Amino acid sequence: MIVVVDYGMGNVRSIVKKVNNFGFEAASSSNPKIIDGATKIIIPGVGHFAEGMKNLKEGGLIEILNKKIINEKVPVLGICLGMQLLTNHSEEGNCRGLGWIEGKTVRFDFKDKNNLRVPHIGWNNINTKSDSLILKDTKLDYRYYFTHSYFVVCSNSDEVIATTEYGFCFDSIIQKDNIYGTQFHPEKSHIDGFKIILNFLTLS
């Protein structure tokens, strides 16, 4: 079963519906016992980093997620805030993250670029830096939907699959072994966004 982690911070229903439409069994859950039976895990997210970590901790989810992702190597996809939570630390709330990806989450600062707004909202291209099965059969010039005020800075450039330009290049797809993250929302990005979800679901 594909489990979409429900920790009160994401549009879990739309992701579950999309996964079901691809013919996979999926459920949203905050129950550690159900998460323990997952064959793949999706961590969505919209909102505040520190609040997201607080909800994961209070829900007793960090231990089971570490067991599944780190010990059992179950594939996980973090989306938007879900990707940011994979890092060591965020400026948003000065809070520690899950620490699965070496890096930090920082806020856009465009004091010298008055034409750029925060949050970054809209459609942007990605610039592929390395091969990944999650991008199989996607178009190089496709645009994906972003909405975020913070972005991930990976410590290890080898874990950066793609970047996006918004004032400067920031990391927009990351991967470390079984751990994947997209700063954009593939579930809102139409054909190639849906293809990214399907590629994740069919990882062996």
Residue 13 backbone zone (phi > 0: left; psi -120 to 50: alpha; other: beta): alpha
Catalytic site residue from 80, 92, 154, 159: 80
Q: How far is residue 142's CA from residue 135's CA, in Å, rounded to a whole number? A: 11
Respond yes or no: is residue 148 known to be catalytic: no
3-state secondary structure of 35: helix
The count of other CB atoms within 10 Å of the CB of residue 101 is 26
Question: Which positions ≥6 away from 185 have C-beta within 8 Å?
Answer: 79, 80, 144, 145, 146, 147, 193
The verdict on whether 169 is a catalytic residue reads no
- C-alpha span between 129 and 126 (Å, rounded): 9
CB 178 within 8 A of CB 78: no
DSSP label at residue 158? G
80 is catalytic: yes
Among candidate residues 92, 120, 159, 185, the one labeled active-site is: 185
Cis previous bond, 44, omega within 30 = no
* Annotated active-site residue in 72, 92, 187, 190: 187
Hey, how many other C-beta atoms are within 10 angstroms of the C-beta on 46? 15
Active site residues: 80, 185, 187
